[in-house]
Amino acid sequence: MMEADAGVGVANMGQDDLALPFLKILSGLDPLLDELEEAKRGDLYNTVSGQIFKGKEGLSLIPCAYQRRFYPMGTAWVRYWCTDCNLDTESECTKS
């Protein structure tokens, strides 16, 4: 039934589409300083887009979502646990 629809909608997705961006503060010994001419010590580097933000100018960040979840290890599989709902199944969680 649902097996026929497996993978539909993700055919054009690649590794870059699924990458999580991190902001990295470039320190004096960071190898990226040798690779990127415009980068200076103390700048911020976006690991996905490669964009550099000048450290002296700073950067404004707006947190848009936060969801605290725990995945405790079980004997056979990892279980989902939502701290907001106090439930152990994601399908019953009202915060998902």
- pLDDT attached to residue 27: 93
Q: Could you state, in chain order, the average pLDDT of each consecutive group of 10 residues for the chain (96 residues)? A: 73 78 91 93 92 92 80 54 56 54
Residue 68's contacts (CB-CB under 8 Å, 6 or more residues apart) are 83, 84
- pLDDT attached to residue 54: 95
Q: What is the pTM of this model?
A: 0.54
C-alpha span between 30 and 47 (Å, rounded): 13
- pLDDT attached to residue 19: 81
Coil/strand/helix, residue 15: helix
- pLDDT attached to residue 85: 62
Domain boundaries, the chain: 19-56, 64-96
- pLDDT attached to residue 86: 55
What distance, in Å, lies between the first and last C-alpha atoms of the chain?
25
Q: Are 59 and 43 in contact (CB under 8 A)?
A: no
- pLDDT attached to residue 92: 56
